[in-house]
Chain A
Amino acid sequence: MSEAPNLIRRFHAGEANAFAELVSTHQDDLYTLCLRAVGMDKAEALAETVLLAAHQALHRLDPDTHLYNWLMQLAVEHIEASGPNKGDPSGGLDEQSTTIQTLLDALETPFRVAVIMRDIIRLSEIQIAEILQLPLGTVRSRIHRARLNMARSIAPIMDNV
């Protein structure tokens, strides 16, 4: 994910459009992470909460911070605080998307977040390790275990999807 040039500095300088640009640049990844981590019912509210928290904290953020990683880190903190998804996994999604959501909901939050970042948002393992502030080996292990659990859950219904 490429960084918008000097977005933090522009925000510090009081440029009115800087935060709106941040939102439009990162909203899809942020919304995807929230949607897949907490479900359709809470996704939009959670993504908005993360952005509000980011807006409150951005004025004291070091301008050299990797903005995307910082934002995703903030999102993960909110996801962990929001608890598991207990809503209807189908909630307006198509059949395959609902299947993915059902498989993800069965995972514990740390494994779910890791596999969403790797296989849905398509971040590298190194970047995920930076965001989650974990050793690379731990991230690889979480991704593998999540994939294996999902694969074993999908096997009985694989003919139908």
Chain B
Amino acid sequence: MAYTLEGRLLEVCNCNIACPCWLGEDPDPGFCYSAEGYRVDNGIVDAVDVAGLTVGVLSHIPGNILAGNHRIMLIVDDNASPEQEQALVDLFTGKKGGPVAELSELWGEVVAIERGRILFDVNKGKGHLEIGAYVEADLAPYLGPTGEPTVWINTPFTSVPGNPAYVAKASLYRHDNPKLGFNLNLKDHNAIQGDFRFEHN
């Protein structure tokens, strides 16, 4: 019942730039329709190696992110073997305990769990995300005067203290999700890429 995972986390949502949820504040419109991708760069769940796979979490967050009751869909990378898929589903639905279970405690309803094609081509807040037929997003980071990306460090939810989260803007955020009951086609809203390290023994 142990895992060690590290990788990149991307959130794209309908908030304005610099999504307040990252500081524990309420979403800008009062609710949030988000798409998150967890790209595992290195990771083992029990004895199953899950490096290179991505899990997508599609959410309707009805209020403050910490108040829970999120309605979500879980999309597992269709490159996963059946064993890898089971390991990731168990992990993200909280069966393995630890920090990932704290995340899934915020979910009030898992509306569906599906396999899907996931394209996670994002680095330092720049790139492209696709999750099944549901989500497509393009993003680029803000830059400082010397061309370095604008970052947040030590936000309340960071799982890797001291590491940057890249503050970006999604030039495209399309999210057509009949199962969660919304259909978005937005320009110039929030995207933030951080990283994660989840460990539990």
Q: Are A and B associated in one complex?
A: no
Interface residues of B (CB under 8 A from A): none
Interface residues of A (CB under 8 A from B): none
